[in-house]
A and B are shown apart, each in its own frame.
Chain A
Amino acid sequence: MSNPISYAFKKAKSEKRPALLTYTVAGDSSKKQSLEILKSISEEVDILEIGVPHNTPVADGSQIQTSSYRAIKNGIKVNDIFKIVKDFKRFHKNKPVILMGYYNMIFQYGENEFLKKCKISGVNGLIVVDLPWPENKKFANRCKRKSIFFIQLLSPTTTKKRLKKIIKDSHEMIYFISMLSTTGGKLKVSSKEILSNYNKIKKIDSLKNVVIGFGITEKTIKSLKKADGLVVGSAICKEISNSIEKRQNPVTNVYNVVRRLKNKIK
């Protein structure tokens, strides 16, 4: 059986648009509400990235930090995250789900145990921010044996030699970090430059699905629509924070943001 992530890219391609990926933090602002958000946006989104909140996130900017701290404060545990995924999958079986987080959470859970739980709850892919190549080789292979995609990250600082090696070891999806930044930074390079870097990756292996993330908002998404997929994270986390502040319903507000994002790349 092929991974639903591959199918999501195929479907987007057939509709001549990039796949839309969203990132929300599990348990933000509560377990129940984060599940509701996932359910409501899943109609518009091709692949759902769910953040495993960590309290020393060295690659995240203030928006995702705020969401993470809020979720942790509200008591989210790793097991709750698996339950959220499982509940979501009961509602929407074929929508691909990727967990994204930091290695210590997996390390403490135990790599094998973590992957077992991923499999049971229906996780299709993993992004581990601070487990770069080649350190991730062993774990990536473990993922592969469980038919879970381990998604390699590439950055503008990745050398060409390294690029080739990582792409060779990567599974079907690759995540390209658009610029030197933590998550949620303002797009400080032109979309032309980002796409030129993106094309370098595609040239090495055109069959891999490459998504672009970091700095993507309603304003910038359209300029990058040539990519296989685009990830929006901080803009959504920010919307949740704003909604809470204004005492509005985050579920509807996030849905509206996602729908507008989708319309821009249709």
Chain B
Amino acid sequence: MKLKKGIPVIDQGDKLGFWGGKFGGNFVPETLKKPIEDLEILFNKLKKDKKFISERDKYFKNWVGSPTRFIKLKNLTNHIGGAQIWSKVVSDANGGAHKIYNATVHCLLAKRSGKKIICGDTGAGYAGKMLSMAAKKFGLKCKIFMGVKDIQRQQPNVKAMKKNGAEVIPVYSGSQTLVDAVSECMRYWVANCDKVAMCVGSTVGPAVFVRICGWSTSQISRELKKQLIDEFGSVPKKLKLYNCVGGGSSSFGFWNEFMDYNKKQCEFIGVEAGGPAKSKKHAAPLTYGSKIGILHGAAQYVNQNTDGQIEETESISAGLDYPGISPLHCFLKDTKRARYTAASDEEALNAYKLVTKFEKLRPSLEPSHAFSVAIAESKKLSKDTIVVVNSCGDAYKDRGILKRRLGKKYV
């Protein structure tokens, strides 16, 4: 298995949509074959269309707000006393997280295809919130599927979705989290694919959804590359990019532009959700060596039992609470381009405490996982190493959990 240079990773899949011959694909009911093929044709055409790209860039710039900040965390760096710690503050983006890129592109595609309704899944509520914002912006009706457990723990985002006019459909099946929300959204699409467009909220699902999402979030690394060159004159000789990984949309977008660099110069570190320290459950299929299986239309490493039933996950962060992982990350892992590790709930909370103590930055629980590992590793790194953490979400949505776990002063 080999990563090719000079070809975007999203386009390195084979004819059937498999990366490295085994990750991804289209394991979907026959009914979805046609709508998926239609979407593929549309996307392949538009991603080469200069007019479409300038339309995308216009919305990214004026509506999403580009570029998001790239800042040095001076106090944290001084406190740690190792590598320079920087952050790409993607939570600056309209709505407060990276999910806005994928949502915007899906709505633009839906408009082009003449669909008037768009449906989507959500875990932390960001994908849903952003899709509801974009749908409103582009005049589409919006339906969001969300697990009941997530509805309870991510209320601020639920309120935002409703305010934007979206219908939030509670999902009661299974573990009542993201995995079930994605299933239910796909079911809805199976039954309504003639009239409705679907947005999968991360780089997961049938191959075309993986590609669209990766293409959209790559905006993050396009901006970062420019910002690095502005700041340091060139891409630094020792660069380490830390990102949390749930489905894998923000991390893939954070790394994409640096893919062809030698990994000794530019290392990618993906941090999965290890779950509560005392629990055996986790949402870290890459770190803990889960086997390949099929989930939501794609072959990937996924938490499952020997029979092939998908296992329940556990994580304090709803956005990372997913038993599978993008086929793109499976590919990056097996080609050894990226390194993956996990942080526990407690480690993420401690990192949140530390970051907010020293900096005017409030990363949500998802990027707090990435901060945890970045901080621990920075201690041992030289001062000329540039560590960048993608702060891909804002903690506003987590205030209920933070209050409960850390007390009022952290909210």
Minimum C-beta distance from B129 to chain A (A): 24
Q: Which of A5-13, A154-162, A195-203, A223-231 contacts B (4 or more CB under 8 A)?
A: A154-162
Inter-chain contact A61/B33, CB cutoff 8 Å: no
Residue-wise, chain B 240-284 has the 8 Å CB interface mask toward A (1 for contact) of 000000000000000000000000000000000000000000000
Is A182 in the interface zone, CB < 8 Å from B?
A: yes
C-alpha spacing A178/B193, complex, angstroms: 15
- Is B230 close to A, CB under 8 A? no
Q: How far is the CB of B374 from chain A (nearest CB, A)?
A: 33
Contact across chains for B30 and A108 when beta carbons are under 8 A apart:
no
- Which residues on the B side are within 8 Å of A181 (C-beta)? 190-191
Q: Could you list some 22 contacts between A and B, CB below 8 A?
A: A55-B310, A56-B179, A56-B296, A57-B183, A58-B190, A59-B29, A59-B190, A60-B187, A69-B173, A103-B294, A105-B307, A107-B293, A132-B27, A132-B28, A133-B30, A135-B16, A155-B33, A157-B32, A157-B194, A180-B193, A181-B190, A185-B191
Chain B residues touching A, range: 35 or more
B183 x A158 contact (CB < 8 A):
no
Given A54-B309, A58-B186, A78-B307, A180 and B27 contact (CB-CB distance below 8 Å): no
Contact call B190/A182, Cβ cutoff below 8 A: yes
How many A residues touch the partner, as a band? Answer: 35 or more
Is A153 interfacial (CB 8 A cutoff)?
yes
The answer, yes or no, to whether B326 is at the interface (CB within 8 Å) is no
Nearest A residue to B294, CB-CB: A104
Chain B neighbourhood of A104, CB < 8 A: 293-295, 304, 308, 310
> Are B304 and A180 closer than 8 Å at their CB atoms?
no
Interface residue A102 (Cβ < 8 Å from any Cβ of B): yes
Q: What 7 additional pairs, Cβ within 8 angstroms, besides A56-B183, A157-B34?
A: A58-B28, A104-B308, A107-B292, A109-B307, A135-B26, A153-B30, A180-B190
Say yes or no for A130: interface residue by CB 8 A criterion. Answer: yes
Residues of A within 8 Å of B193, CB to CB, are: 157, 180
Q: Does A177 contact B (CB under 8 A)?
A: yes
Minimal beta-carbon separation of A215 from chain B (angstroms)? 11
- Across-interface contacts of A157 in B (CB, < 8 A): 30-35, 193-194
The 8 closest A-B pairs by CB, nearest first: A108-B308, A157-B34, A104-B294, A155-B31, A104-B308, A59-B29, A153-B30, A105-B308
Known A54-B308, A103-B27: A69·B174 in contact at CB below 8 Å: yes
- Residues of chain B at the chain A interface (Cβ within 8 Å): 16, 25-35, 173-174, 179-180, 183, 186-187, 190-194, 291-297, 304, 306-310
Contact A132 B26 (CB under 8 A): yes
Q: Assuming A108-B307, A180-B190, is B173 touching A154 (CB within 8 A)?
A: no
Q: Is A65 an interface residue (CB 8 A)?
A: yes
Q: What residues on A are CB-neighbors of B27 within 8 Å? A: 103, 130-132, 135
Residue with the highest number of chain A CB atoms closer than 10 Å, among B294, B308, B310: B308
The one of B180, B291, B308 that contacts A109, using a Cβ cutoff of 8 Å = B308
A99-132 residues at the B interface, CB under 8 angstroms: 102-109, 129-132
- In the assembled complex, the Cα of A59 lies from the Cα of B186 at a distance in Å of 8
When distances are taken between beta carbons in the complex, the residues of chain B under 8 Å from A61 are: 187
